[in-house]
Amino acid sequence: MNMHSLPAIFSPVMPSSIPLITQSPSPMPTGEYPYDALPALVQNAVYAVHCYTQSPLPMIGTFALSLMAEAVQGVANVQIPSGPLCSLSLAVLAIVESGGGKTPALNMLRKAVVEFENALQLKYAGALKSYEAELKIWQLTNAEYEKALRKAVAKSLDLTDVQNRLLAHQQAKPKKPRHPILTYANPTIEALVNGLANYWQNAALVSDEASAILNGRVTQVLALLNSMLDGAKVSMERKGEPDPIIVQHPRLTAVLALQPGQLEKYFKRTGDDALDIGFMARMLVCKPLVLPGTRNVQPVDVDPQFLAALHERVTSLLQQGIAPDGEPIRQKKVVVFSPEAAEAYVGVRQYIEQQQMPGGAAEHIKDFAAKAGRHVAKLAAIMEIVVNDSYVISLDMLQRATRLIYWHADEYRLVFAKPAELPQPFVDANLLCAWLHNFSQTRTPRYVMKNDVLKHAPSALRNKQRLEEALQVLQQQGRVGWHFLYQGKMQFLDLFPSLPADQYALEVAINQYRMKKTSFRQ
């Protein structure tokens, strides 16, 4: 398995009010990625895709979360205890080296969505032809009514009958069928907003090469994109048009994958805008380890029902999001917390809050931590609907969602958290230690005189106090020994303090120093 070997900063241990899941329904061993936190239906599908593609489990698991969000975002919202009503859309970002299997894993998981969208497109094509024929008939009839009205006006006849017939005809104008676009690959922001407003309000922004999206126009208005990911009302002005495009209740799931180098280029070009405005904090990030050469390419016999069962459930939920008239349903169901889950959720939020204190696990990812509680609620609701067809979040599903979000918080920290700034003495100590080992090549390999260091050190460290503060750090860390001779009149540094003292080497170093000092004076 392709797993991380890094220790998790977000402990999987829950607040005391949430008991741990002690039994794993997993058909395979678990690793650092909390695979056993996925419900069995999802575990089986992730396992199948992993066997078929040998892609990293964390990436497949992350894609599976977004797949479930696509399925339920058009069906329900979640009511957060003492909080807002939230959409069930998710945004995920997989940062994976080339060869990590992004495309096959994503295609295999989203097969049900793609087939459902294709079926809707076929229905739309047939409905569009019928509409165009009906519209032609309507236009011809409308022209005749208008002609009759003009004739009646010209002859000063009673207009009541012809007006009523024309008004009734106007109200019977054929309605163009809604174009069902469920997936966008690399749209402009105008195309995305227009599609959600006029075509289909439940969609996904999907790209296994997301550098095109990050460098495209859609991310030039991150605030607008954030609103769409949150399910908030969106309004966009159009050049040359009197009225803006308005999306009342967008439901947009983002599924993005790209290589680490492309993400680095994006941040070099844009700075920290995506972090500062909260775009990245809305993402469930994963950066799995890819080890080419270690994957097992032998055919694996996997029960086809493992993946098919999730696909069937996704198709069923997508269908539930469509009303009998073929339009997306307008009145969504509301997912609520059970009393036990609501109580435990307070503990989760309190734990996340505490971790933002100095020294806490979320000290340097406060942006993600601010949204982590909402991520937990949304994910718990999504899994409850998909797995149990229930609209009441159970304690078990809250536990699972919490463990998964804690893992994604740790991934976010590894990718985006800025390292804490070291105090100046520690910065100086690192500089001095590297310099000392180079400097010793011009003196003796082990011992150097402190005054010699003060004279030749990097200019920033030729201040006695600053040098001695750096030496104190190195001595405390056991990287350098600092000793005194002749009642403190001479000081020397030992570059290998863990080795036994070497009196002969020290005498050579002292004599060499004295000779250089005498030579300099002459």
Same domain, 130 and 108: no
For residue 358, the model assigns a pLDDT of 80
Same domain, 299 and 211: yes
Amino acid at the residue 478: G
Give me 228's structure tokens: 């769409």
- Strands ordered across the beta sheet of 183-184: 183-184, 202-207, 251-258, 91-95, 283-286
Q: For the chain, which residues score pLDDT lower than 50?
A: 1-31, 520, 522
For residue 510, the model assigns a pLDDT of 92
Same domain, 248 and 386: yes
For residue 293, the model assigns a pLDDT of 65
Residue with tokens 């060869």: 99
This prediction has a pTM of 0.74
Same domain, 298 and 359: yes
Residue 101, sorted as left (phi over 0), alpha (psi -120 to 50) or beta, turns out to be left
CATH value at residue 499? 1.10.10
Domain assignment present for 23: no
**Start-to-end Cα distance in the chain:** 69
Containing structural domain, residue 151: 122-168
CATH value at residue 311? 3.40.50
Domain assignment present for 13: no
Q: Residue 140: beta bridge partners?
A: none
Q: What is the DSSP letter of 449?
A: E
Distance CA 252, CA 228 (A): 6
- Strands ordered across the beta sheet of 85-87: 85-87, 76-79, 333-337, 392-393
DSSP string of 339-354? HHHHHHHHHHHHHHHH
Tell me if 18 sits within 8 A of 344, measured CB to CB.
Answer: yes
Task: Point out the domain boundary residue: 168, 201, 225.
Answer: 168
Same domain, 163 and 249: no
Domain assignment present for 193: yes
For residue 45, the model assigns a pLDDT of 96
Number of domain units in the chain: 3
Same domain, 386 and 239: yes
Same domain, 201 and 246: yes
Same domain, 496 and 355: no
Q: Residue 13's closest CA among 403, 410, 376? A: 403
Same domain, 294 and 274: yes
DSSP string of 301-330? ---THHHHHHHHHHHHHHHHTB-TTSSBPS
Tell me if 184 sits within 8 A of 206, measured CB to CB.
Answer: yes
Task: Point out the domain boundary residue: 416, 444, 467.
Answer: 416
Same domain, 367 and 492: no
Distance CA 428, CA 409 (A): 32
Which pairs count as long-range contacts for 235-238, CB under 8 Å and 24+ apart, including other chains?
A: 236/189, 236/190, 236/193, 238/190
CB atoms under 10 Å from CB of 199, counted, come to 16
- The Cα angle at residue 349 between residues 344 and 354, in degrees rounded to 5: 125
Amino acid at the residue 464: K
Domain assignment present for 144: yes
Domain assignment present for 19: no
Span 489-502, pLDDT tens digits? 899 999 999 999 99
Same domain, 222 and 143: no
Q: Around 155, how many Cα atoms within 13 Å sit in the side-chain half-sphere?
A: 8
Tell me if 410 sits within 8 A of 471, measured CB to CB.
Answer: no
Give me 160's structure tokens: 């009541």
Task: Point out the domain boundary residue: 416, 448, 476.
Answer: 416
Same domain, 142 and 237: no
Domain assignment present for 17: no
